[in-house]
């Protein structure tokens, strides 16, 4: 496919009836939210969920888990982390990478929690995103998993699926998240993250999507635009 043609198809969006059909097919073919779904990286409370989500940026799950475990062994409250020297925090979270930047953001987030929110993690997207180091994806993950709100968190897999199929559109994950929220019917928002995430891993993979056998290929603008 030429670059111009590929760009044209990438800018296409599914019509509302097609969006509804795609979600119904996802519901029938992909696993949804389970009763045991836990907070980000299986953390037991909102604060540790936020911290682990921040640490997960550009980090493999196993490295994030190691960094979180090491940090929480030292402190697991905003005040406790603020009381640690920066070098101590950086050394603990080193497995997650970008440890100097993440240390600064963690300290700023903890300070903002104490100064602006009485040490309590806010439950709204706006409140979460007001915290240093918490972006749209992290906020939506915490809202969905920790506070059980019906929102679709957009990670790399969901971002790819949305833009390939024409379900939603955005150059960044945050832009795609806003487009997806506007275009997703309310009934699909609770399980949508789980359906799209598993679909992105098992069917619409980054390098080798299984287009020929995909159960939504009759809707997909990427598949329709292939040579």
Tokens of 145: 């998993």
Distance CA 37, CA 206 (A): 25
Distance CA 22, CA 221 (A): 12
Q: Secondary structure of the chain: what % helix, strand, coil (to 5)?
A: 60, 0, 40
Spot the catalytic one: 41, 102, 107, 137.
137
3-class DSSP state of 143:
helix
Would residue 116 show up in a list of annotated catalytic residues for this protein?
no
CB contact at 8 A, 46 and 54? no
Would residue 137 show up in a list of annotated catalytic residues for this protein?
yes
Spot the catalytic one: 12, 76, 150, 155.
155
Catalytic residues: 137, 155
């Amino acid at each position: 496919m030429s670059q111009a043609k590929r760009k044209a198809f990438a800018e296409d969006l599914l019509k509302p009836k097609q969006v509804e059909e795609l979600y119904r097919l996802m519901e029938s073919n992909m696993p949804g939210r389970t009763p045991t779904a836990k907070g980000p990286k299986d953390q037991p409370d909102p604060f540790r969920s936020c911290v682990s989500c921040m640490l997960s940026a550009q980090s493999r799950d196993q490295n994030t888990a190691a960094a979180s475990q090491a940090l929480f062994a030292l402190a697991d409250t905003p005040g406790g982390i603020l009381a640690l020297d920066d070098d101590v925090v950086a050394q603990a979270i080193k497995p997650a990478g970008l440890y100097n930047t993440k240390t600064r953001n963690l300290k700023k987030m903890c300070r903002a929690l104490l100064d602006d929110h009485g040490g309590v993690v806010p439950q709204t997207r706006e409140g979460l995103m007001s915290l240093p180091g918490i972006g749209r994806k992290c906020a939506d993950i915490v809202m969905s998993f920790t506070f059980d709100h019906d929102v679709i968190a957009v990670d790399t897999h969901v971002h790819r699926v949305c833009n390939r199929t024409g379900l939603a559109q955005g150059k960044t994950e945050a832009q795609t998240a806003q487009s997806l929220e506007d275009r997703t019917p309310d009934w699909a928002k609770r399980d949508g993250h789980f359906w799209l995430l598993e679909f992105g891993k098992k069917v619409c993979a980054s390098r080798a999507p299984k287009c020929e056998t995909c159960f939504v290929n009759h809707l997909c603008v990427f598949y329709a635009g292939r040579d």
